[in-house]
Amino acid sequence: MALVEIRDLVVAYGDHAALKGVDLDVAAHKLTAVVGPSGCGKTSLLRAIAGFEVPRAGTVRIAGRPVAGPGIWVPPEERRVGMVFQQGALFPHLTVWQNLCYGLRRRQDVERVERALALVGLAGLRQRYPDELSGGEQQRVALARALVPSPRLILLDEPFASLDAGLRQHLRAEVRAILERARMTAVLVTHDQEEALSVADEVVVMGQGRVLQVGSPDAVYRHPASLAVAAFLGDGQLIACEVEGHRARSSLGTVPSNGARPGPGLLLVRPEDLVLAPADAPGGLPGHIARRTFYGHDLIDEVVLDDGAALQVRRLSADPQPVGSAVRVQLRDKPFPVYPDPQPAGRPAVTAL
Amino acid sequence: MTGGGVASIAGRLAGRRGRSAPPLWAIPALATVALVLLPLIYLVLRAAQNGWRAYLGAIWTPLVGALVLRTVALAAGVVALAVLLALAVAWLVARTDLPGRRLWAVLGALPLVLPSYVAALVLVTALGPRGHLQQLLEPLGVERLPALAYGYPGALLALALFTFPYVYLPVLAALRDLDPALEESARALGAGPWRSFFTVVLPQLKPALYGGGLIVALYVFSDFGAVSITRYNTFTLAIYNAYRGLFDRTTAAALATVLVLLTVVLIAAEGRLAAGLRPSRQRPSRPAPRLALGAWRWPALVLVGGLALVTLGLPLAVLGFWGVRGLLRGDAVAGLLAAAGNSLVAALVAALAAVVLSLPIAIWSVRYRSRLAVFVERLSYAGFALPGLVIALALVFFAARRLPALYQTLPLLVLAYVIRFLPEALSATRGALAQVTPAFEEAARGLGRRPLAVLRTVTVPLVLPGMVAGGSLVFLTAMKELPATLLLRPIGFETLATEIWSYASEAIYGQAALPALVLLAVTAPPLYLLTIRPVLAGRNGG
Amino acid sequence: MKNRKDPHRSPLRLQLALVAAALSFLPLIAACSAPEPEASVVVYSGRNKSLIGPLLERFESEKGIRTEVRYGGTAELAATLLEEGTATPCDVFIAQDAASLGELSKAGMLKPLPAAVLGRVAPAFASPQGDWVGISGRARVVVYNPERIAEEELPKSLEEVGDPRYRGRFGVAPANASFQAHMAYYRAVKGADALAALLDAMVANEPQRYPKNSAIVEAVIRGEVDFGLVNHYYLWRALAEDPAAPGRNFTMPDPTAAFLNLAGAGVTSSNEAAVQLVEYLLADDGQRYFAQRTYEYPLVAGIEPPVDLAPLTPEQLENQIDFARIAEELEPTLEAIAASGLLQ
């Protein structure tokens, strides 16, 4: 069942509409990530749910109760929605313990504070002030503070953005585990697609004030609803193709068209959708490995085809073919998303995303 | 500008303990402080001249007890009212959609240009029992207004209305630097707007409130003009009366030492309060949302408009009325230009000197965290709290006997201004310096520059905006200064303040109004450009 | 930081030297711009420039002696003189009230004046020690608004001001030096208890309190109060601005009510020009200046008081007491004023 139901939501600042009619259901007990480029309206959406923005139109319901809509306005403090900000927003003049106690309604509930502290594993730091904590500790305290009043859901606004990469990954997993343990519904706003895909149960992709796609991480990555979603989520390339009936023909081969309209089309090919075969293998297109970016567990080869087009190919780093080797590039055997080409005139065979 | 509280906190953050103290900065710093402490030395000499018994006899009287109460009561009231006004105006212009908020933001700081003796005189003239306001209301049958312009209410109004910008400016800067996410966190945790203001926003404004409040309280301690015109008997007035009626320099000095003691207690209390504060160092992630006032905009406009009307409109109207009446009668305006020139020269040199002299003390206490430096820096506030007459007499005492070549010259007058107003420059310089990480200086040293070159090429350019803001306040207060100017200026050296005094003391208001108007015209632009505008633009970090 | 041989010390020293040099230039400039004329006299004047400036200019042009005047409050200047001691640059001190001159006399700061100078005024108007002399007189009077109260209804003595029929109708300036000197005089004549009773009666009668004499006169003319206790000449200055203003002076017949305060002068150096200046102030011309320009009582016999100003009564001339006594009475008087609540 949807915990948050948003219908036709419009949020505007002066003449600028940040949200242009958004419909969204947030599933209970799940972590939903809202992702999109900066300025897409994701933060406005979060703030509208929390009650920090008054929508121009549309309704927001939380647990069935309307909190914003025509003639209805519930202020943030009455919505029972927890919020974790980008840099924690811990009250600098209060200790960790006092920060956590801030949301308590009754003094007797202190064991909730204890539980929250234990949940984030910071029981030993209760007498510290925020400026005596590391960035990661601050965010964990912020999460614990948001959990103390037992909110109906927690909103996280780019909570890991100000942390360094290693800490970010670590904390992401930890936050996810904490939220799961607490069976908490959460909405996470991020501009980091990798973060959205790795941490969320459900991903909402936004662009220009609208929801572009909602789905599981796998679904939105594998089957982006549009070129815009594809471009935002993940790397890869678009291969020009011709859709005829149920098939789409491209220079790399022919694949099922998945119901795309006949005519000029584009095939979304992720780097991991390509394999490199020896130069004498049958099928595929001939080329050579021109450049390599090494990531440790895997690598990306840039293969320049004989006709000059370049393709990104992701491979495990365990089967080395030296840079400069002649190869043949082949498509994996799987379904590919096919989109009608919005501008077929002069389209090269390969377009990088 | 920033108060001492802000500076001391920031100092703790940016300072480095454990650097072995190189007394390079200590030399000019100690020399400056020695100058600033001259009045204290004088007071001790004078107070003790008849022995400790006489001293104790002079201060251990019911009268002194009453004076302490009256002075503290006035300072507390003025600080409370100034804080309320400052919070209200700063919040309205920074956090709401108040129409014309930029204009109100500027007007909120401008009352600083009015000398308190002019402000009080205008207030008494306009709001006295049968003042201008009563005359306006006479057709409505108002025979007499309650005596609000006199005594405690009068002194409270005259001082609070014209010193609240000392709190308003740092509060406005702090409010602009406050991350709105803090308030929103509080709201999301179930706190309503009021609770989140009092439990989250207000604690974050405390450094600004304490620092500004300290300046206001010390101002009240030292003020003579407003309390004498509104006839509220404080320490300063009693010290003046001791000189005036009794020619009793020992009693006057003894009373002044009690005032110094009060000051020390106040500064220590502020230091103690400010030391426990943990201001946010988080820069705002985005501009704070402005509250839509709706129908509340009308009462809000009445508040800011009424305040501007009383603090600026009323003085300008009364001074303009007097001035025009005087001009029509053919009062001489000759000498006004010379007086304005003299005021400008003296105040500019004083501002420059105060800023330059504040730098070594600031570096010493911020960068080296020497306990001695901090102590000495705080002591320099005594000059701000003492009546100008006491400082003037101290310099008369030392200069006439020991430095006859300097006596009654411009440099001595400038020195008096520096002693009185150094804290204004010092707190600004300290605040600015504390916000510059020592890493810049270390990088410059690493690139092969010597300390003085680093000072010139890195430190000074970085703290310059703060120093300029502090300097503009020193300039402003030196332009208004009267008691020390009267006694220490070179003979025949008329300033705007002495011209105002010269006519106002004989109730020749037409001729007093013109120099007063010139004073406002000369001081308002630098205050706007160097102090108000940087705060509004958010360039002044606190 | 570096050790003592750190080479950066020399630029610092250089800069300090430059600053010191710059600072030492300022007095030089000040000194150079004022070449000493042949004879000059330095005056500390507690009298306002507008009141005495023109007379000093006349002195300059007639005698060829330059005057350099420091204007300030009488008491502040007296305190300055006391702090300066023998190092004072001052030659002549002109005071608004006799008490400050008495104090300087006590401190031994004043030089004896020639008998010829002292002899210009009645003995009551000069220092018993012969080191200062009164230059003009200012009488304590009642200023009243004839549109609101008739002359016959006015109080005839200070005690009568406490009469219930004047409740709330009169103004005083309790923090003003003239009022305080008057009360000190009252205490000297009638004693501490009488003063306390007088002050209590005044406070009980709800006076309107003003910062100074001029404010009382303005209030009387405006009709804010019906009468007030002031120095006599403020009314004349107000009438000079607006001859139609409804205000009149009334001298209470009771001798202690009609106290005459003095403005005076003393010499603080052995500069001969200083004595010449004091002589000039007491010359017929100087005395006429006070009568005509500042509406004060001339102290030299034979000079007419200002037009329309009642001549000094014999009581006023005879009942003067040693002004040094008034200075002694001031402290307990101020305490009594504070204790009475008149200042609140």
- C30 to chain B nearest CA, in Å? 7
Say whether the C–A interface has 3 or more Cβ pairs within 8 Å.
no
- Closest-CA residue to A209 (of A47, A5, A21, A50): A21
pLDDT at residue C307, as a whole number: 66
Which among B244, B249, B452 has CB closest to C11? B452
pLDDT at residue B429, as a whole number: 87
pLDDT at residue B540, as a whole number: 42
Say whether the C–B interface has 3 or more Cβ pairs within 8 Å.
yes
Is the pLDDT assigned to residue C18 strictly greater than 50? no
Q: Do B397 and C71 touch (CB under 8 A)?
A: no
How do strand A326-331 and strand A274-278 relate by DSSP bridges? antiparallel
Chain C hits for B243, CB-CB cut-off 8 Å, are 75-76, 78-79
Residue ranges in chain A assigned as alpha helix (H): 42-50, 96-101, 110-120, 135-147, 165-181, 193-199, 217-222, 227-232
pLDDT at residue B131, as a whole number: 67
Q: Which residue has the tokens 């000194």?
A: C31
Chain C hits for B393, CB-CB cut-off 8 Å, are 79-80, 83
**First and final C-alpha spacing in chain B:** 7
Q: Do A76 and B179 touch (CB under 8 A)?
A: no
Name, in order, each residue with C-beta under 8 angstroms of C2's C-beta and a sequence gap of 6 or more: B22, B451, C8
Q: Which segment, B24-38, B130-144, C7-21, C302-316, is predicted with the most confidence on average?
A: B24-38
Mean pLDDT taken over chain A: 89
Which among A79, A89, A103 has CB closest to B182? A89
Q: Do A93 and B203 touch (CB under 8 A)?
A: yes
Chain C hits for B241, CB-CB cut-off 8 Å, are 175, 334
Chain C hits for B69, CB-CB cut-off 8 Å, are none
Closest residue of chain B to C26, computed from CA coordinates:
B411
Q: Which CATH class is domain C138-259+331-340?
A: alpha beta
User: Rounded to whole angstroms, how far apart are CA atoms A233 and A33?
Assistant: 13
pLDDT at residue C25, as a whole number: 45
Is the pLDDT assigned to residue A148 strictly greater than 70? yes
Q: Which CATH class is domain C40-137+261-309?
A: alpha beta
* CA distances to A31, A202, B286 from A35, in Å: 13, 11, 19
Mean pLDDT taken over chain C: 82
Is the pLDDT assigned to residue C9 strictly greater than 50? no
- B248 to chain C nearest CA, in Å? 9
Secondary structure class of B404 (helix, strand, coil): coil
Q: Which residue has the tokens 């501007």?
A: B308
- Closest-CA residue to C267 (of C83, C111, C74): C111
User: Is B331 touching A (CB cutoff 8 A)?
Assistant: no
Closest residue of chain B to A52, computed from CA coordinates:
B184
Asked whether the domain spanning C138-259+331-340 has the same topology as the one spanning C40-137+261-309, the reply is yes
* CA distances to A13, A148, C19 from A49, in Å: 16, 19, 64
Poorest-confidence range of A204-213, B326-335, B405-414, C177-186? B326-335
Closest residue of chain C to B452, computed from CA coordinates:
C8
Q: Is the ipTM of this complex over 0.85?
A: no
Q: Which of the pair, C44 or B231, is modelled with greater confidence?
A: C44
| Residue to substitute from B123, B241, B414, B500, interface C, most C β-carbons within 10 A | B241
- B486 to chain C nearest CA, in Å? 6
User: Is B202 touching A (CB cutoff 8 A)?
Assistant: no
- A216 to chain B nearest CA, in Å? 28
Which among C12, C23, C338 has CB closest to B452? C12
- C144-161 per-position pLDDT tens digit: 999 999 999 999 999 999
Is the pLDDT assigned to residue A266 strictly greater than 70? yes
Q: Do A149 and B190 touch (CB under 8 A)?
A: yes
pLDDT at residue C319, as a whole number: 55
Span C91-101, mean pLDDT?
89
Residue C315: pLDDT band (50, 70, 90) is low
- Closest-CA residue to C12 (of B165, B529, B27): B27
Is the pLDDT assigned to residue C30 strictly greater than 70? no
Query: The tokens of B364 are what?
Result: 């010493």
pLDDT at residue A218, as a whole number: 92
- A9 to chain B nearest CA, in Å? 20
Partners of residue A263 on adjacent β-strands: A243
Query: In which residue ranges of chain B is pLDDT below 70?
Result: 1-23, 129-131, 143-145, 147, 244-247, 281, 330-333, 370, 507, 538-542
Closest residue of chain C to B404, computed from CA coordinates:
C87
Q: Which of the pair, C212 or B483, is modelled with greater confidence?
A: B483
- A189 to chain B nearest CA, in Å? 15
Q: Do A92 and B185 touch (CB under 8 A)?
A: no
pLDDT at residue C12, as a whole number: 45
Q: Do residues C177 and C74 make contact, with C-beta atoms less than 8 angstroms apart?
A: yes
Span C51-61, mean pLDDT?
91
- B507 to chain C nearest CA, in Å? 6
Poorest-confidence range of A111-115, B278-282, C108-112, C172-176? B278-282
Residues of chain A with a CB closer than 8 angstroms to some CB in chain B:
50-52, 75-83, 85-87, 89-93, 102-103, 105, 129-131, 142, 145-146, 148-149, 151, 155
pLDDT at residue C21, as a whole number: 46
Chain B hits for A82, CB-CB cut-off 8 Å, are 188-189
* Dihedral sign, Cα of residue B44, residue B46, residue B49, residue B50: negative
- Closest-CA residue to B510 (of B330, B334, B314, B340): B330
In chain C, domain spans: 40-137+261-309, 138-259+331-340
- Closest-CA residue to C60 (of B492, A237, B482): B492
| Residue to substitute from B9, B12, B178, B185, interface A, most A β-carbons within 10 A | B185
pLDDT at residue B413, as a whole number: 95
Model pTM score: 0.81
Q: Do C344 and B451 touch (CB under 8 A)?
A: no
pLDDT at residue B7, as a whole number: 39
Is the pLDDT assigned to residue A184 strictly greater than 70? yes
Q: Do residues B112 and B532 make contact, with C-beta atoms less than 8 angstroms apart?
A: no
CB pairs under 8 A between A and B: 85
- Closest-CA residue to B232 (of B143, B118, B328, B156): B156
Span C298-320, mean pLDDT?
71
Chain B hits for C231, CB-CB cut-off 8 Å, are none
- Closest-CA residue to A349 (of A241, A275, A255): A241
Q: Do B190 and A103 touch (CB under 8 A)?
A: yes
- A27-48 per-position pLDDT tens digit: 999 999 999 988 889 999 999 9
User: Is B198 touching A (CB cutoff 8 A)?
Assistant: no
Partners of residue A189 on adjacent β-strands: A34, A157
pLDDT at residue B23, as a whole number: 61
Is the pLDDT assigned to residue C238 strictly greater than 50? yes
Span C258-283, mean pLDDT?
91
User: Rounded to whole angstroms, how far apart are CA atoms A156 and A167?
Assistant: 17
Residue A144: pLDDT band (50, 70, 90) is very high
- C28 to chain B nearest CA, in Å? 9
Is the pLDDT assigned to residue C139 strictly greater than 90? no
Is the pLDDT assigned to residue A186 strictly greater than 90? yes
Crossing angle for the helix pair C98-106 and C177-190, to the nearest 10 degrees: 70
Q: Which segment, A268-272, B324-328, C32-36, is predicted with the most confidence on average?
A: A268-272
User: Rounded to whole angstroms, how far apart are CA atoms B326 and B511?
Assistant: 6
- Phi, psi torsion values for C136, nearest 5 degrees: -155, 160
- Closest-CA residue to A146 (of A184, A185, A100, A95): A100
Is the pLDDT assigned to residue C321 strictly greater than 70? no
Q: Do B248 and C335 touch (CB under 8 A)?
A: no
pLDDT at residue C6, as a whole number: 41
Chain B hits for C99, CB-CB cut-off 8 Å, are 245, 247
pLDDT at residue B13, as a whole number: 40
Say whether the A–B interface has 3 or more Cβ pairs within 8 Å.
yes
Q: Do B184 and A149 touch (CB under 8 A)?
A: no
To the nearest 10°, report the CA torsion of C299, C301, C306, C310. 90
Residues in chain A: 353
Chain B hits for A151, CB-CB cut-off 8 Å, are 188
Please name each of the domains of chain B with its CATH number: 40-172+207-325 (1.10.3720.10), 331-542 (1.10.3720.10)
pLDDT at residue C314, as a whole number: 63
